[in-house]
Structure 1
Amino acid sequence: MDTIKLPSSCRKNAKSCLYIGIALAIISVGILYIPNIAVSFIAAFGIILAYLGIRIGLSKSGQPQFGLVLCHDHLQFHHRYGGWALPWRQIDRFGIPCVGRGFERLELNYIGIRLNDEQFLLDTLSPRLCAHLLTEQRSALYAALRQECPSGTCPSDHLLEDDYYHTHSGKIYHGLKAMFANRMANMRQMTGYDLLIDQSVLEQSPEQFLRLARDFRNQGMAHSITSSNDSACKS
C-alpha cells in the first residue's frame, strides 16, 4: 500500500488566527489616537484580543503538518516536540478506549494502541516528548479515575507516576521515560491500551482512521510473513 499522510487538525485555522490578530492590532493601534476614554478602553481590549489571536496562530503554525503517517511497514506519530514510529508487528490492536464498570462505559476522546513490547517504544522516545505527553494525556487519566471512583475521594497511586520502571525483560528506566512507562501500564490496566493518541489530531472520524490503520496493519503483517517465508525457502 502507498504511504498515507494524514494532515494534523492542530494546524487548522492557523493563518486565519494570525491574519485576524494582525488586522485587529492595526485597527486598535489606529483608534488609540482618537481622544476619547471609551474608545481607548475598546482599543486596549482589541490589542489584548489581537495578542491572543497572534499567539494562537503562531502556536498552531508550529504544529507538524502531518499528525500521523501510515506506511507499509510502520505507523508514525508526529508531535511538535518529537514523535515515534512503531512497526506493525509491535502493535497488537487499535481501538477507542473506554472506562467504567458494568454497563456504564465512557468512551475517551483518544485512539488507543495496545503494544506487544513497550520497551521498543520507550527506547525511541525522547524525555522531552514523554514530558509533554504525560501532561497532555492527563485528562484521560482523570476520566478513568473518576469512573473508578465517582465520589472523587478515593486515594489513587496513579495521580503521580513513579520515576522508576522495570520491564518484563529486566531493563530498568528512570526519570521521565519511567514515568511515561508507568502511565502506559496504568492506562493498560484501566482501558486495555498502552498508548493514546488524542482524536483532535485527526481530521477524519476515529472510525475512519481505525479502519485505515487496521487495513495497513493487516497488509503489513501479511507482507512480513510472506517475506519471512521467502527468506526461509532461499536459505
Structure 2
Amino acid sequence: MALSIKNNDGQMTGKAVQHPSIIIKPIAKHNGISLVIFGVLLLLTTLLFAQHYWQSYRFAYIFMILLCLVIILVGAVKLFEPAISLYLTPDKITFNHRYGHWQLTWQDIQNINIVAEVVGVERETLPYIGIRLVHIDNIAKNISVRLANRLIHQQQGLIVYGVLHQLMTMEQAQMNFEPFILSTGEHVKGPIAAFLHQSERLSSAFGYHLFLPADSFDRGINEFSQLLKQCKMASSTYQVN
C-alpha cells in the first residue's frame, strides 16, 4: 500500500510505502480466557455446595477449591501472553513472547517444517514448527537476552524427548554456559551463549534451531506451516512498488 505525503504547502513530496503484513494472535490467549471463566464458575459452584455438605465432604471440597485456583492461575498466566505472537512481513518474521522477541529475515532461514520423529514404525508429530537457520550466527544478535534465558528452560521438554528417544546423550542434554564462538571469532557470553549451544544440540537431534510452539498460532499447525513456507517463497520475489 502506497501513501502520498504532502509538505506544508500541500504539494506532493513523495511516497511512504507500507509493507503488507500478517499479524498472528496466539490461540493460547483465547484458551486463557476460557480457563479463567471455567475456573471461576467451578469455584463458585463448589463453594455453593460446600455450604451444605462441608462436614461430610470436607477434604473433597478442599481439593476442588485448590484445583479451581490452579485452573484460574493457569488461565491468568496465559492472559499475560502478548496479543500478537508473530508478525510476518515480506522481508522478515518476528516472534513475540512475554519475555522478549527474536527477529529474522526470510533469507536467514533454510527450512521450515513441522517437527516430527520416527518412533519404532510410527511417525510421531510434535506440537512445534521447526526453523532451520542458514547459519546460527543469524540469531545471535537478533534475540533478546530475557527470551534466550527463558527458552533454555522452556525447551527442556524437547531435550527430555531427545534423550528418551536416543536423539542426544545425557551429556548433550546438560546446559552449557561456556562462551559461544561465532564464525567471525566473536565470543558471546551469558544466556544467549547457553541458548546458542542448546540450539546447536537441538539442531543435531531434530534438524531445527528454533521451535515455534503450536499454541502461539491462530490456526492448525499444518496450515500455519504452509503459511510460513509461502511467506518465505514469496519473500524472494517480493518487490516494493
Quick check: TM above 0.5?
yes
User: Deviation at 1:182?
Assistant: 0.6
Q: TM-score, normalised by structure 2?
A: 0.78
Structure 2 match to 1:161:
175
Query: Partner of 2:56: helix, strand, or coil?
Result: helix
Unaligned runs of 5+ in 1: 231-235
Q: Which moved more, 1:162-171 or 1:9-18?
A: 9-18
- Partners of 1:14 and 1:56 within 8 A in 2: yes
Q: For residue 6 of structure 1, what is the amino acid of its counterpart?
A: I
Superposition pairs of residues 105-124 of structure 1, within 5 angstroms: 106-124=124-142
Residues 21 and 88 of structure 2 are in contact (CA less than 8 Å); yes or no, is this contact kept in structure 1?
yes
Following superposition, the deviation at residue 32 of structure 1 comes to: 4.9
Q: Does 1:197 align with 2:212?
A: yes
Percent of matched pairs sharing the same residue: 23
Provide Cα deviations, 1:157-201, integer angstroms capped at 9, x if missing partner.
Answer: 211132121112211112211111011111222222111112232
Aligned: 1:147 with 2:175: no
Which residue of 1 is the match for residue 3 of structure 2? none
TM-score normalised by length of structure 1: 0.80
Structure 1, residues 137-171: CA drift from partner, whole Å, max 9, x if none? 2222222233336xxxx953211132121112211
Contact 1:100 1:147 in 2 (8 A): no
Q: CA deviation at 1:59?
A: 1.0
Deviation at 1:36, TM superposition (A): 4.9
1:217 aligns with 2:235: no
Displacement of 1:212: 1.2
Q: Secondary structure at the match of 2:211?
A: strand
Please, which runs of 5 or more residues in structure 2 have no aligned partner?
1-18
Give aligned pairs, total: 222
SS in 1 for 2:176: coil
Q: How far has the Cα of 1:127 moved from its partner?
A: 2.6
Q: What is the rounded CA distance, in whole Å, between the counterparts of 1:91 and 1:36 in structure 2?
A: 59
Do structure 1's residue 91 and structure 2's residue 106 form an aligned pair?
no
> 1:188 is aligned with what amino acid?
S
The correspondence for 2:73, drawn from 40, 51, 55, is 55
Report the residue type matching 2:174 in the other structure.
L
